[in-house]
Amino acid sequence: MSYGNIFHVLGLHMHQPPGNLRLLIDANEQEALQIIHCYDRATRCAHKFPDVARLHIGFSGILLEQLRDRYVVDRYRHLLDIPAMLESYRVAKNIEFIGMGYHHPVFPLLPASDWEDQLVAERQLLEEVFGQVPKGFYPPEMAFSMDMIPALVKAGYEYVIIGEEHIKPFGEACDHFQPYKICYNEACITVIPRHQAISSAQANSLEVYSFANDVPYEVRLSPRPDAPRLLTTWTDGENDKWFRQMDEAKGFFGQFFTRYMEHVRSARYPVRPMFASEFLRQYPAEMTAQASTSAWQEWQGSDAQKWAVAKIREVSGRYHRVKSTKVSADVQSKLREARRLILESESSCFLFWGDEWVHKVNERMVPAEELLSKVEQVAPSTSTLSPLAQPVKPVEPMPTSAEKPIDKPKPIRPVSKAPALVKPSESTVTTDEVKPVTAPVGEVSPAKTASETVSPVTEAKPATTTQVTEVKTPTKKVPEETKPVAPTPTEKPAKSSGTESTKVTAAAKTEVKVETSKPVPAAPKVTVPVTSPAASKSASVSESTAPATSSAASKSAPASESKVTGKVEAHATQSAPEKIATHPPKTSDVPVIPNESNSAKKNG
């Protein structure tokens, strides 16, 4: 690897749903303050380092439309001068603007006949606001399919950023540090791999020193370590807490970006920022590949989401059947308004992140259908219909699950939630995806508290119902209404031991026989009353995670849980009371789980 051959494309993705900036300032001014300063902070920091900083910023058309809304400008004036901020972007020479589609649509789910309008409308607005025509494209929700290539090329795009896992070179594994050329139906475009691990770190807590060590390390392991290397990282610019941090010194731009640029200025840093378009001019893509589209062949949306997509296709098809007809100016205005409603309904916010926003599609489809009905009444015969007209297939009424209204701003995008657009056998990672880590069986999850107990069992099994068989001893029974009393804070817990029986003691010891039945869902917290007459206090037995003693159990991700039922009759003893151990195991007993929020490190 030669020093100085690693170049970095750093991108930020900016988007808000239709009308969300109005809702934010009216419903939650603190969150509105955090978000609006995310947009301002990017351009301010770019202006601080005009000689070395290179940023790629993508604004959805609907976000720019809101930032130019007079109502929004006035309502946010005490927080930020929005027109001045937009002008700051316009004059910046070290920002390359990126397209994504006007309404942030999930392109593979929508009618191809709508793609051109989404692409062209946003490019025109970006040029109007910033004086720059975008050359690169970042697919909303990282949703890309090869049949998008002709539309992207026709719209004027030269390159597209896609997930590294979707690039499939011919005859070799994907080199994550170089661009590829992909063709579809004689149209070709350059694709640049987005580095998933370092992008995830960029969204959370990227350290400038680990970045300087990890990137060269990965480059040395790449297929062509001495060739020009292109690292591409991309995240949302306003949806993560690190970007929303109001103390700038503790957020992305203070903790990482500023220090990064200062090191680059010193000329002793192994990575240098660069525009993607500039890199491609100097080192054009030579190797060819194809992009996997299997993740979009089967969509696992909810019933409400599937209804919304079908409804959009139906109404869009009606529009294309009459859009080229010659009608009066008044009818043409109705047609344009119907078109606006259709395109706005295609926002990924309404279709991709759960059912609570699906009703927003119906709110736009109803008036769009009414307008199209008026146009169809005066439209000429079908002989003059548009060649893009799609067959109209009426869909069923909207499911009740999508009827609940919502009048609150869209929350932070759930980064730990896997996208709905994947096959059961495949794994697709989005811009903001962070997979939760589940502790192995027998280990204490960080989420567990000290009050939760650990019950040893012989081997890991699915969640089962554990029955406790009564072991009768000659003793006087206490009435069943005796209420259990939680252990006092001053009492020290004793270690639990044994692998073939479960101890339940409170001034008494009892042997219990454990029987398992068929798997059932995880049980709620259950209290077992102790019936010994000498017991002045009773212990509460909580749902616990059991350690595994076999190698197979140690590989099991979900922890087995036990539901304790039945009663225990115990013989009173003179011994000191024992309590179920509630303390967590020692640190040395818990496996160290790599933190994916930092820059990825390879195990050499």
Q: Which two tokens stand for residue 212?
A: 């300087």
Q: Tell me if 503 sits within 8 A of 509, measured CB to CB.
A: yes
CB 310 within 8 A of CB 398: no
Overall average pLDDT of the 459-485 stretch: 44
| Spatial CB neighbours of 209, under 8 Å, sequence gap ≥ 6 | none
Q: Which two tokens stand for residue 524?
A: 């709620």
Instruction: List, for residues 35-57, the tens digit of each pLDDT value.
Output: 999 999 999 999 999 999 999 99
The whole-angstrom separation of Cα 380 and Cα 361 is 29
What whole-number percentage of the chain has pLDDT above 90?
Answer: 54
Q: How confident is the model at residue 175 (pLDDT cuts 50, 70, 90)?
A: very high
Measured distance CA(594)–CA(302) in Å, rounded: 34
Distance CA 38, CA 34 (A): 7
Task: Indicate the SS3 state at residue 521.
Answer: coil
The pLDDT assigned to 353 comes to: 77
DSSP at 508? E
pLDDT score, position 156? 97
Q: What is the mean pLDDT of residues 400-410?
A: 53
Higher-scoring residue by pLDDT: 535, 89 = 89
Residue 409: per-residue pLDDT: 55
Instruction: Indicate the SS3 state at residue 96.
Output: strand
Best-predicted range by mean pLDDT among 140-154, 455-469, 476-490, 558-572? 140-154
pLDDT in tens, 333-366: 999 999 999 999 999 999 887 788 899 999 999 9
Q: If pLDDT is split at 50, 70 and 90, which confidence band does 542 have?
A: very low
**Residue in the structure block whose two tokens are 């029986």:** 501
More confident: 423 or 372: 372
Tell me the pLDDT band of 300, cut-offs 50, 70 and 90: confident
How far from 85 is each of 81, 92, 243, 418, 500, CA to CA, in Å?
6, 11, 17, 34, 68
Beta bridge partners of residue 95, listed in sequence order: 55
Which domains are assigned to the chain? 6-296 (3.20.110.20), 303-402 (no CATH)
Bridge partners, 96 (sequence order): 56
Q: Kindly state the average pLDDT of the residues 78-103.
A: 98
Paired tokens of 59: 């604004």
Most confident range (mean pLDDT) of 281-295, 424-438, 584-598 is 281-295
**pLDDT above 70 (res 560):** no
- pLDDT-derived band at 402 (thresholds 50, 70, 90) equals low
Q: Which residues contact 252 (CB under 8 A, 6 or more apart)?
A: 202, 206, 242, 243, 245
Query: What is the full DSSP assignment across 118-181?
Result: HHHHHHHHHHHHHS----EE--GGG---GGGHHHHHHHT--EEEEEGGGEEESSS---TTS-EE
CA distance 43 to 83: 13
What pLDDT score was predicted for residue 1?
56
Is residue 82 within 8 Å of 25, Cβ to Cβ?
A: no
> Residues with Cβ < 8 Å from 128, sequence gap 6 or more?
none
For residue 66 the two structure tokens come to: 């809101």
Pair 181, 193: CB distance under 8 Å: no
Task: Provide the pLDDT for residue 280.
Answer: 98
Q: Which helix (H) or strand (E) holds 83?
A: helix 82-91
Q: In sequence order, what are the beta bridge partners of 12?
A: 57, 235
pLDDT of residue 408: 52
Counted residue by residue, the chain has a size of 604
Work out the mean pLDDT of the chain and round it to a whole number: 75
Residue 327 pLDDT class (50, 70, 90 cuts): confident
Phi/psi for 229 (5° steps) reads: -110, 135
User: Average pLDDT, stretch 143-150?
Assistant: 94
Q: What does the pLDDT average to over 114-141?
A: 97
* Residue 176 reports pLDDT greater than 60: yes
Tell the burial category of 387 from Cβ atoms under 10 Å away from its Cβ (0-12, 13-18, 19+).
exposed
Q: Report yes or no: 409 and 30 within 8 Å, Cβ to Cβ.
A: no
pLDDT at 76: 98
What integer is the mean pLDDT of 584-596? Answer: 37
Q: How far apart are CA 135 and CA 123, in angstroms?
A: 9
pLDDT reading at 73 higher than 60: yes
Would you state the pLDDT for residue 382?
47
For residues 132 and 97, the answer to whether their CB atoms sit within 8 Å is yes
pLDDT of residue 557 exceeding 50, the answer is: no
More confident residue, 317 or 567: 317
